[in-house]
Structure formats: C-alpha cells, structure tokens
Amino acid sequence: MIYRTTNQIDEIAKLAKEVILRESKKPGSMKIETKRADKRFPMTSLEISQAVSKIILPELQGFTVDVKNPEYKLEIEVRHDGAYIFMSKVPLLGGFPIGLNGKGLVMLSGGIDSPVAAYLMMKQGVEVELFHFESTPLTPLESVQKVIDISKKLAHFMPKNTIKLHLVPFIHIHEMILSKVSDPYIITIMRRMMYRLAERYALSHNILALVNGESVGQVASQTLDSIRVVENVTNMPILRPVITDDKNRIIDISKKIDTFDISIRPFSDCCAVYVPKNPITHPKLEKCLEEEQKFDFEPLLKEALEGIETLYIKPDTELIIADFGFEVKDAIENYKNSQK
C-alpha cells in the first residue's frame, strides 16, 4: 500500500506514524529512508529522514532505530506533487520497457521452454509476436488450445495486455516431410522449414530477430550440430534466452509466469508427432540438402504463409477453439465471425 500526503514535514511525520502502526505487526527496530525526487525541496534526503524520526520516535513505544538490519523499513519519496510513504514493495517485471529494443518473433510450441523465452525477451525490452506451427488434424486441436492459453498468460506482460498469435498451417509441409524424408532427418528438415517460414514472415513485417526456447543438448534437435544445420537456412539473428539454462530453472520461471500447468497438458505439437525412432543428433548439411531435393517445398511455404491466421489475445480472451470447428482454419473463421 502506498500513502500520499503534502510536502510539509509535519504532515509527512503524521502519516509516517500512522503507516508504521498500521503495517507493523508488533514493535521492533526500524529505519526511515528518504528519496528526494523534488530537488527544489529545501531539505536533503538524510535531513528529511532525521526530522521525521525526531518527531515520531518518541510517540512509538517499543520501536528502536537500526539502520543496518531493521525489522521494518519506512520509505518516503518526496516528489513535486506530494510525499509518498510505504513500507513494502511488490517486485514487477523489471528490465527494460517493452518495445525499446525492437520486435522479435517467438517460435512458440506448446512446451515449457518457448513461453519462458518469450517472457525473458519481453523483460529485456523486446516486443514479441508469437508464431505457432499447427498441423491439425495430424495434431489435435487441444495443442492449439494450449498455445492460446499460454498466449493469454504472456499477454499480461505486453503493452495494453495484448499479444499477437500467428497460427501457421503446417499440415501440407508436415505430410510431405513424413512421406519423403528419411526417418532420422524428419525433425531436422521440419525445423529447417519452420525457420524458413519464420524468417520470411519476420522480414515482411519489420521484425528484427527470431526467438526460440532451445537449450543446448536438451533434446536431439538441440545439439550444436543440429542447431548449426537448422539455422543455416536463415540470415536473421536467432535469440535463445534459455540456451544454457538447466530445466529446473526454466520450470521455475514457467511457474512464476503461470504457464507451466498449461505447457504440461498431454497434447503434442508438430515436432512431437511421429517422432523418428532414431533421430539424428549430428546431422550433416550436405545430407539435409539431399533430403530437401526430394520434394518441391517452395509452393508449400508460400501456401503456409498465405494461410496464416492471426489472433489478438488478451488475458480475458474467451476462446475454446474446439467449439468453433474441427480444424484451425474453419474454427478461427467461425470464431472471428462470432465476434462481429
């Protein structure tokens, strides 16, 4: 709770005493700390603290002064429009104002890591948009619902509590990869296609970097060899905020931002469907190029980019996608019509 009064020392002291008695559970040691934001005020910060202490301490039975390890700390901020007094602080996001450092496109799965990556980028002042590859009906609609619900949590941290979620129709690319690509290279080629799509979308929408939740060595597709051959298809900066974090720290952050329970719902996304029996952990670029020669992917990429559905998600967005259709395209169209 923050309390406000005038910039008169007597009024500051009067309110300071009331705040201490109201918010302290019992008498104990205390410290008064002042910040003088209004430099026109005729007293220094230290002089304000001393003057207030001199007035109120004789009236606070059982309270003593301890400037090193106090049980209570009363803070006073003297500003142009008055004095603000408080005894507790609630930590906020911290970092930089969102948007100060440009915009990034987060490749958002329904897992634990990528929502954390999005949050950490926002904390560093990067405005984010979310880019999710959906393969309904190969993947269940519930996997898209997970992403919608995660987006609602991330929207809390965005300006105006609104975040863009782009749903990319990946089904035709997905099916072609499954039918044409050698089993060990399925995930590698799939991710190369995803990066192509993400880069092309970003370049056409003034987005400066791609963002993902990769952590070195966590899965087969996140070895250094895999990362190298996958990102070979792009020229954009790729930011990986959790690249060296262990899973426990990532989980702790996901719980802090309230996405963990959503992320662990048992519904698979593109990369978790038809996982190869023996996925390659040290793919070769030459082999990737050979695999990609087996089909013409450019028309499929164009089709996917043209079919992107964009939603503006807020924390209170009410959207149960399964209520509007069996495939994402139809469901989103029906949902948007219902909002008119």
CA–centroid distance for 223 within its chain: 24
3-86 placed in CATH 3.30.2130.30: yes
Domain ranges within the chain, ordered by starting residue: 3-86, 103-338
Over the stretch 212-235, which tens digit does the pLDDT of each residue have? 999 887 776 789 999 999 999 999
Q: Which CATH number is correct for 103-338, 1.10.3720.10, 3.40.50.620, 3.30.70.990, 3.30.1330.30? A: 3.40.50.620
Q: What is the pLDDT of residue 220?
A: 66
pTM for the predicted model, two decimal places:
0.79
Q: What is the pLDDT of residue 1?
A: 87
Q: How far apart are CA 157 and CA 118, in angstroms?
A: 10
Q: What is the pLDDT of residue 326?
A: 83
Where in 186-330 does DSSP place strands (E)? 209-211, 238-239, 309-313
Over the stretch 246-274, which tens digit does the pLDDT of each residue have? 999 999 999 999 999 999 998 766 556 66
Which element (helix H / strand E) includes 5? strand 3-5
Is residue 81 predicted with pLDDT exceeding 70?
yes
Q: Do the domains 103-338 and 3-86 match in fold? A: no
- Cβ(137)–Cβ(327) under 8 Å? yes
Which element (helix H / strand E) includes 164? strand 163-169
